[in-house]
Amino acid sequence: MKKSLWMLMLTLTMFAGAAFLVGCGNTTEENTIRMAGVGPLSGDAAIYGVSVKNGIQIAVDEINASEEGVQIEDKDGNATKYTIDFFDFKNDEATPDKAAAAFNALYDKGLDFMIGAVTSGATEGLIGESIKQNVPTLTATGTAAALTGTGDADARAERSNTFRACFIDPYQGQMMAKFAIEQGYENVAVLYNTESDYSVGLFEAFKAYGEANGLTSVDGKGYQNATSAFDSYFSEVNNSAYDALFVPDYYEKVVKIVTTARAQGFTNACLGCDGWDGVLGVDGVNNAGDDNTSVDFEGCYFSNHFAADSTSAKVQDFVAKYEAAYNEAPTVFAALAYDAVYIMKQAYEDCDSLEYQDVIDAMSASDFVADCVTGQISFDEYGNPKKDVFVMGFDVDEDTNTASLKFKETVSE
């Protein structure tokens, strides 16, 4: 009887201790910040998850090898070097339920900070669990506006632990409209996918901002996801003398649309968004041969989060380290993931605490700024970054008809 009572008391004590730790951050290892990631490592989206994991690892190795690490001061002002324990990156196969399960498994192991997920749908599943524990959560690449409660104060209050390193879809739509205005365009046609929230959202943001700030007209023409032939769309585009064509979709569709536009005689500028990143990987685009596909992309520009050919010393240092580690150039996913770690570092150094809410408050502060390879990042009231948009263009070698991406300029509010 006494033994049973003692065991009951011990169990209650352990339970109380565990309950006390909830929301307080990891305390299992001295002078470490336990961070984990979630993203697709198999399936069609695996290329994105691998890039994110690699970008995180470059930043973690860099910070841990530095003399300073993450500097956290005690109440007396004495600074201690903390290292980052990047203890796991779980495969969610780009699905919400697996992302949610991955978060819970990682939380049970002791988690200070979460980077994930990678795709917007999976991130939604992960956030559904992370908000229950109030764990500071940062998606490097989830662009859907609703993830952080954008535009809805009540939703933001529920998701106040959630931030992102990438700008949201409507923002890049607005900035590409601003770019169009700055180029002197007046009339813009838009071909958009009516079955894609991504494409529709970009079109709507482009149109609203453009017509409110100087574009004479923005005429949208919708197509369905299954559409594979676009010839019929261009008789009106050519006859109406549009200054530019905006195509807010992913690179597979973009190649079909732009090559069709050129074949149908549209010679003016074509504009796009971050979904264009990958165009040069499509067969035939980067080595045109007889069909001049590369030349089709001359005079095309799209918004992106990162420019690997930027002259910034910070960018070039990251690119060199990434190429040395993985024998390939970093994608925008890798760059955003790298930045996510440095955002986390800045937050801990600002608040000098491992408490979940202190870290969240630091990232939410109006004076928060992190110096990153994708720009100087601060957050708006919805946890979305305020930073420049990189506009990329295609540089075509006239002798070989091969194309390469070149940074053109930045656009900002």
pLDDT of residue 399: 80
pLDDT of residue 250: 87
pLDDT of residue 238: 77
Give the chain's domains with CATH numbers: 23-166+312-382 (3.40.50.2300), 170-304+390-411 (3.40.50.2300)
pLDDT of residue 11: 45
pLDDT of residue 290: 57
**pLDDT mean for each 10 residues of the chain (413 residues):** 40 43 56 97 91 98 97 94 98 96 98 95 96 98 92 97 94 96 97 91 96 95 93 82 93 92 92 89 69 82 92 94 95 95 98 97 97 94 93 87 87 86
pLDDT of residue 13: 45
pLDDT of residue 288: 55
3-state SS of the chain is: CHHHHHHHHHHHHHHHHHHHHCCCCCCCCCCEEEEEEEECCCCCCHHHHHHHHHHHHHHHHHHHHCCCCEEEECCCCCEEEEEEEEEEEEECCCCHHHHHHHHHHHHHCCCCEEECCCCHHHHHHHHHHHHHHCCCEEECCCCCHHHHCCCCHHHHHHCCCEEECCCCHHHHHHHHHHHHHHCCCCEEEEEEECCCHHHHHHHHHHHHHHHHHCCCEEEEEEECCCCCCCHHHHHHHHHCCCCEEECCCCHHHHHHHHHHHHHCCCCCEEEECHHHCCHHHCCCCCCCHHHCHHHHCCCEEEEECCCCCCCCHHHHHHHHHHHHHHCCCCCHHHHHHHHHHHHHHHHHHHHCCCCHHHHHHHHHCCCCCEEECCEEEEECCCCCEECCEEEEEEEEECCCCEEEEEEEEEECC
pLDDT of residue 15: 44
